[in-house]
Amino acid sequence: MLSRAQEARVREVLGSHPPGTPPAYCLEHLAARTQIPVAHLADLAAFVRNLRAYGACQIRYGGICDAGGHETGRLLTSGPPTPIAIQVVRDLG
């Protein structure tokens, strides 16, 4: 189980990105960026899935990790789309 401080760091990293497409992180790079030990990757994955359930982030399987620039077939997570991006989608729909 992650501490509240670790959870807050994950929320901050996923929530602070420039307008447009948020960067995607593999679990290992997200853990490194938020100072979570590798031994707690399963806890981090569970927390990210919980955030996704509440709309606080997006996840996908496979793609490019923007933090490391490597391709992975594993879980990638990114912050929610920016309000500007949501507005554009609404205008087009």
Buried b (16+ CB within 10 A) or exposed e, 19-28: eeebbbbbbb
> Which has more confidence, 81 or 74?
74
pTM score, two decimals? 0.81
Which has the closest alpha carbon to 73: 27, 38, 30? 27
pLDDT-derived band of residue 88, with 50, 70 and 90 as boundaries? very low
Burial zone of 84 (CB within 10 Å; 0-12 exposed, 13-18 middle, 19+ buried): exposed
Query: Model confidence over 9-29: pLDDT tens digits?
Result: 999 999 887 777 789 999 999
**In 3-state terms, what secondary structure has residue 73?**
strand
| Residue whose tokens read 């997570």 | 77
Query: Model confidence over 44-57: pLDDT tens digits?
Result: 999 999 999 988 89
Q: How many CB atoms lie within 10 A of CB 9?
A: 17
Domains along the chain with CATH numbers: 4-92 (1.10.10)
